[in-house]
Amino acid sequence: MNNQNEIIKEMVKEKYGEIAKKSGSCCGPASCCGTENKIVGYTVMNDEYDNLDGYMKDADLGLGCGLPTEYAGIKKGNVVVDLGSGAGNDVFVARALVGDEGKVIGIDMTQEMIDVANRNKKKLGFGNVEFYLGEIEAMPLDNSSADVVVSNCVLNLVPNKQKAFAEIYRILKPGGHFCVSDIVIKGELPINLKKSAEMYAGCVAGAVQYDEYLKIISDSRFKNVEVKKTKVIDLPDEILREYLSETELKLYRESGVGIFSVTVTADKN
């Protein structure tokens, strides 16, 4: 199992490293890169950030599936940690909320993403934003060091979700809380979707069942677990045809299986 987890991690690193490199090319954000890159499939889930304070277009690679900062209750002076921070999109939005008095830390396991994020940070000139290379299952942060943890469509990619939520619990201060947007499923995905590396990196095939996801959080000692927002993710046929035959596609559409974006909050007592 551990070996399989490492394979998954390396696959995710490769895919997101590729996206980070393309973000610095003439292609621009991943959503502009066209179907030949298959990256376009990752953009069908993201929400609009344009109207949020702190939004930076260069940091938005269109890879999220919600707006976790919307329900995170971030206050001036808070220490906020963003898991899977990518090019810095949610970090910079969170920084607008914590102000000069607070601090925002981004954690990402892909060096290429850290490099892009630091370039964006340099453009903005923030002194209270930091990006660390590290894995969510073993974060390079002290115990009880964060007021708020946020994450946007990333925990789904972590093979050991129990360990990930245990780490979130560890780094949160007593009385702290998290708000994460993520992908869950209801029903059984077609096997070809589940096995696809491309779709795993696109946050779909690695999804766990809705009830299981919430149970993992509760089992990690969090209290007041609450689903703030649920959104159906309707993958277009042009994406699904990359992985399913026409017969499989028809069966999938008729099966009632659902892919959802959920935004969840919970407290550490």
Q: Average pLDDT in the 35-54 region?
A: 57
With contact defined as beta carbons under 8 Å apart, do 191 and 197 qualify? no
pLDDT digits (tens, 9 = 90+) for 254-268: 988 888 889 999 999
* Distance (Å) of CA 212 to CA 84, 159, 187, 194, 208: 21, 14, 12, 17, 7
Query: Residue 47: its pLDDT value, please?
Result: 63
- Unique residue bearing structure tokens 């708000």: 179
- Amino acid symbol at 242: E
Query: What DSSP letter does each residue of 171-190 carry, written as one string?
Result: HEEEEEEEEEEEEEEES---
Of 1-15, 109-123, 243-257, the range with the highest mean pLDDT is: 109-123
Q: How many CA atoms lie within 13 A of 78 on its CB side?
A: 26
pLDDT digits (tens, 9 = 90+) for 124-150: 999 999 999 999 999 999 999 999 999
Least confident of 46-60, 69-83, 112-126, 217-231: 46-60
- What structural domains and CATH numbers belong to the chain? 2-267 (3.40.50.150)
Residues 6 or more apart whose Cβ sits within 8 Å of residue 130:
103, 104, 105, 106
pLDDT at 82 over 60: yes
Q: What ranges make up the beta strands (E) of the chain?
A: 79-83, 103-108, 129-133, 146-152, 172-186, 208-209, 223-232, 258-267
Can you say whether the dihedral through the CA atoms of 42, 160, 133, 15 is positive or negative?
negative
Question: For a pLDDT cut of 90, what percent of the chain falls above it?
Answer: 55
* Distance (Å) of CA 97 to CA 55, 70, 85, 94, 228: 11, 10, 16, 5, 19
Top pLDDT among 188 and 212 is at 212
Q: Average pLDDT in the 9-19 region?
A: 70
Top pLDDT among 153 and 194 is at 153
Predicted TM-score (pTM) of the model is: 0.82
Distance, C-alpha 115 to centroid of its chain: 18
Exposed/middle/buried for residue 163 (C-beta within 10 Å: 0-12, 13-18, 19+): middle
Phi, psi of 232 (to 5 degrees): -70, 130
Residue 87 tokens, joined: 């090019």
Strand partners, 146: 172
pLDDT at 118 over 70: yes
pLDDT level of residue 190 (50, 70, 90 thresholds): confident
> Which of these, 92, 59, 55, 94, lies nearest to 178 by C-alpha position?
94
Q: Average pLDDT in the 186-192 region?
A: 82
With contact defined as beta carbons under 8 Å apart, do 155 and 83 qualify? yes
Distance, C-alpha 81 to centroid of its chain: 13
Query: Residue 72: its pLDDT value, please?
Result: 98
pLDDT at 103 over 90: yes
Ramachandran quadrant class, 145 (left: phi over 0; alpha: psi -120 to 50; beta: rest): alpha
Q: Strand, coil or helix: what is 82? A: strand
Q: Mean pLDDT for the chain?
A: 84
pLDDT digits (tens, 9 = 90+) for 224-255: 999 999 988 777 788 788 888 999 999 988 98
